[in-house]
Chain A
Amino acid sequence: MKPDAPKQYPTPYIEQKVLKPVYLFLLFMMGLTGFGQMPIFKRYYIADIPGLGWTGKFYVTHYLHYLGAIILFALFAYVIVTYWGLFRRSHALSKAAYVRIFLLAAIVVTGIFRTLKNLPDVVFSPNFTMFNDISHLVFMMLLMVFGIVFSITKSGWLVPRTVRQTARGRRS
C-alpha cells in the first residue's frame, strides 16, 4: 500500500494486519481452554505456574472457551461477508484455505452440538456425545498440525488473482 496510491481495489489490509493476530490469539486460547476441559493442567503442574492457576479451574476455562467461541463466531461471519463482498474478485482462496475452512467448520459444528448438549433438557445418546467430543478434539489437533505445515510452506489464505494471471503470462 503506497501512501500516495490512488483509490484502488480493496486489499485485505485490516483483515491481515489486525484480525489475523486476533484470530491466532483466539485459536491459541481456544486450544488452551479446550485442553483445559481435560483434567491435565493440574496434574502436569501447568496450573502451578504463576499466572496460569486459572487453567486448572474448570468453570473458568469453560467460561473462556464459550467466550472465545462467541468472538470467533462473530469474526468468522465478518470474514465470510468481507471476503464475498470485497476480496473475492481480487483474491482466490488457496488450497490451504479450503483445508482450514473444512477443519474449522467441523470444529464449529461439533462445538455447537456440545453446546447444545450442555443446555438443560437436551439429552444426546452417549455414543453420539463421545463421538462428537472426540471429533471436536481430533479436528482441533488436525488444525494445529496443518497450521504448522502451512506456516512452513507459507501457505496463506488468499491468492491474489492478478499474480496468477501474471504467472500465466498475459494481463489484458
Chain B
Amino acid sequence: MALLSRRAFLKTGLATAGAACASQVPLPAAAKPQSDGELATLIDIRKCVGCEACVEACREVNAAKYPEPEKPFPKMYPSRVKVADWSEEDKREVRDRLTPYNWLFIQWATVVVDGEEKEISFPRRCMHCQNPPCADLCPWGAARKLENGITLIDSDICLGGRKCQVVCPWDIPQRQTGVGLYLDLLPSFAGNGVMYKCDRCYNRIAQGELPACIEQCPEEVQTIGPRSEILAEAHRIAREEGAYIYGEKENGGTNTIYLSPVPFDTLNQAIHKGPGKPHFDPVEDQMAHADNMAKAMLIAPFAGIAAGVSRVIKAAKHADEPPEDNHEA
C-alpha cells in the first residue's frame, strides 16, 4: 500500500490530517467529530532490530521540551508526597524505561518464533488512545487530545498531580518535580511538577514532518497514516503473514497498532514490566462508563418530567377546592 510509505504519507496523510491543524496545533478548533482525521502508527515488531536509533532521535528532537527543574525543590506537605527527580546527569541517561527524559524505550522479549527461540525488540511509548482517560480525567485540561489523534500534556498547564498516570492503563506519563505552573501557585500544598510523555512529535507533524522516531528508524519499523488505512494494512499483514494485532480494540481503540510475530499474551509474559515499563495486557475501554452514563444523562430529565407531571395531575385532582392557609415556606 503506497500510502504507508514515508513519502506518500507526507503527500496524503499530512496534507489532509496535518493541514487541518497545521495552523493551530496545539489549538484545535472547537468540538467536531474527528475520528476520520486521526492518524495512527503501525509498529511492526518483526522488523525491529533494537538499534535504539528511534530512542536517540526522540531524545534529540524533543530535548528542548525536557524539564529543567529549579533546585532545591520546594518543601512539600504532607511528607508522604515524594519528589520525582530524573534531572541528574545519570538519571537523564536512563534509556531502559519511560522517564520524563525518555519518552520512548526499547523493550526486549525472548520468545519462540517458528520453533526457534528469538530475542525480539520493539519500541514502547504512549499508545495515543482514541478516547484517552489521561485527557478525559485531567482536572485542568492540561492533558488533551488533538484532532489528528495525538494525546499530549501541556507542560505549561500541568500541575504534576499524576492523575493521568494513575488512570492510564499503561501508566505512561512520567513525573518530574520542580518545574511548571505549580511553582507559581501553592508549591508546598498542591501539585508536584509536570508529567511528560510522547507527544507524537505534534510540532513536527504540524509542519508536515514525520515523528522523529519514525523517520530515523533504519528498518522502517513504524509507519503512520489515517487510522482506517493503517488498520486495513495491519489486518492484511496479520492475515497473509500470520501476525498478531494489539491496539485496535485495547482501551476502546488506540492510535498505535502493534504487529507481533507471537500472540500478545505470550509477548506480555516475556517482557519486564514495572514502573515506566508498560505491559501488553488486554485492556477494556476505561471510559465506557462515561459514554454510557452520558446517554443516561440525556434520558434522566425526561424521567423527572414524567414523575413531575404525574404528581401535578394527581394533586390537581384534589385541588378543586379553594386554598386554605399555606404556611409552608
Contacts and interface: CB of A to CB of B under 8 A. Distances in A.
Whether both chains belong to one complex is answered with: yes
B325 A38 contact: no
Nearest to A115: B294
Contacts, number: 195
Nearest to B156: A126
B157 A126 contact: yes
A118 B147 contact: no
Interface string A116-128: 1111111111111
B30 to A, nearest CB: 6
A78 B32 CA distance: 32
A24 interface: no
A1 B291 CA distance: 45
B204 to A, nearest CB: 19
Interface in B130-188: 130-131, 136-137, 139-142, 144-147, 154, 157, 161-163, 166-167
A16 B252 contact: no
A128 B139 CA distance: 13
Contacts of B27: 125-127
Nearest to B163: A39
Interface residues of B, number: 68
Given A74-B303, A126-B144, A126-B154, A44 B327 contact: no
Given A9-B324, A78-B305, A90-B323, A123 B34 contact: yes
B305 A81 contact: yes
B312 interface: yes
A77 B167 contact: no
Interface in B305-325: 305, 307-309, 311-312, 315-316, 318-325
Given A78-B311, A80-B308, 12 more contacts: A6-B321, A7-B321, A39-B161, A78-B307, A81-B311, A85-B312, A118-B137, A118-B287, A118-B290, A124-B141, A130-B141, A133-B139
Interface of B: 26-35, 78, 80-81, 130-131, 136-137, 139-142, 144-147, 154, 157, 161-163, 166-167, 190, 252, 286-287, 289-291, 293-294, 296-297, 300-305, 307-309, 311-312, 315-316, 318-329
